[in-house]
Amino acid sequence: MESIFHEKQEGSLCAQHCLNNLLQGEYFSPVELSSIAHQLDEEERMRMAEGGVTSEDYRTFLQQPSGNMDDSGFFSIQVISNALKVWGLELILFNSPEYQRLRIDPINERSFICNYKEHWFTVRKLGKQWFNLNSLLTGPELISDTYLALFLAQLQQEGYSIFVVKGDLPDCEADQLLQMIRVQQMQRPKLIGEELAQLKEQRVQKTDLERVLEANDGSGMLDEDEEDLQRALALSRQEIDMEDEEADLRRAIQLSMQGTSRNISQDIPQTSGTHLTSEELRKRREAYFEKQQQQQQQDPPGPLTHPCEKPTTSSEALSSELGDAMSEEDMLQAAVTMSLETVRNNFKTEGKK
């Protein structure tokens, strides 16, 4: 598509763009078209003067502005038609009865000029493909052969006047190149106004983003990072506190167990809800030893202990006897109470030292 000549809209010079896009080159300028318009105005004045320079119609004609051009850059169909006569080209109205009787398929033509109100643009065949060369587009628009007739019909429904360009167009590079290759268009061009509006919106969004970033100076992101860091530190402190509590509890249990092993042979202060006096403990020990003697008399003689077994101590025997006399819950309560009492006694002893 780079080889296709395509003038984009500037002011109201669409007639100039239409002619140059049709001829595929910078053939006409506003000055040249203005000259043609002035020539047409003079020819019309001379015709009106034939009826008398003092007539009312002539004076009215002189007071009216030119119908072939205006200060905005608009040029009439007469200016365009006269400009094309220089190249031996002629314009025929597409929907005129004379042309419709010819029953010519649009794809067999070479080019069309379309007009709606004050806008002109060209539809031309280059090589073997049709292109919409509207100056309001950002680039040439590819039109398929099957879509061409529908495209022209749609323009007529929208109020466009369509003219068929008859004659041999000047040679151009794009036509020669596209005779050998066919092009594909992945994305259709946009209207210039749409593209400018999109670019303006993108610039506004970029400016707003830069303004927000500059105002915050990155503080918003830093605040989020700082909050995440504070949460992580808080969780870490909680874990450390839990580990410290667990360590203290393990040390207390270890001290309690050490104290219990050293004083296990001492009297037990209390059981579950019942205080044992030294007399009661003495009676239970005597009952235990009597039971042991009776069992030894009944058992056959032999070694009392297995070589790999430890001999039963009096404290272990006492624990076994107490286990028989008390339930598991009572034994647990007694053990805890005894451990706490042992720790307290150890603290008192160290305090006296």
Residue 306 is among the residues annotated as catalytic for this protein: no
> What is the DSSP-derived secondary structure letter of residue 177?
H
Instruction: Give the tokens for residue 295.
Output: 């069992």
Instruction: Give the tokens for residue 317.
Output: 């025997």
* Burial tier of 12 (Cβ tally within 10 Å: 0-12, 13-18, 19+): middle
> CA-based angle 122:124:128, to the nearest 5?
165
Answer yes or no: are the C-beta atoms of 315 and 265 closer than 8 Å: yes
- Residues 72, 108: Cα–Cα separation, whole Å: 36
Question: 6, 14, 18, 21: which is the annotated catalytic residue?
Answer: 14
Question: 20, 68, 115, 134: which is the annotated catalytic residue?
Answer: 134
Instruction: Give the tokens for residue 191.
Output: 């209207």
Question: 18, 114, 119, 132: which is the annotated catalytic residue?
Answer: 119
Answer yes or no: are the C-beta atoms of 27 and 19 closer than 8 Å: yes
Residue 134 is among the residues annotated as catalytic for this protein: yes
CA distances 66 to 96, 122, 151, Å, are 27, 25, 33
Residue 119 is among the residues annotated as catalytic for this protein: yes
- 45's CB contacts (< 8 A; 6+ apart) are 61, 62
- Residues 235, 241: Cα–Cα separation, whole Å: 10
Residue 63, phi-psi category: left (phi > 0), alpha (psi -120 to 50), beta (remainder)? alpha
CA dihedral 28, 33, 39, 45 (to 10 degrees): 160
108 φ, ψ to 5°?
-90, -5
Residues taking part in catalysis: 14, 119, 134
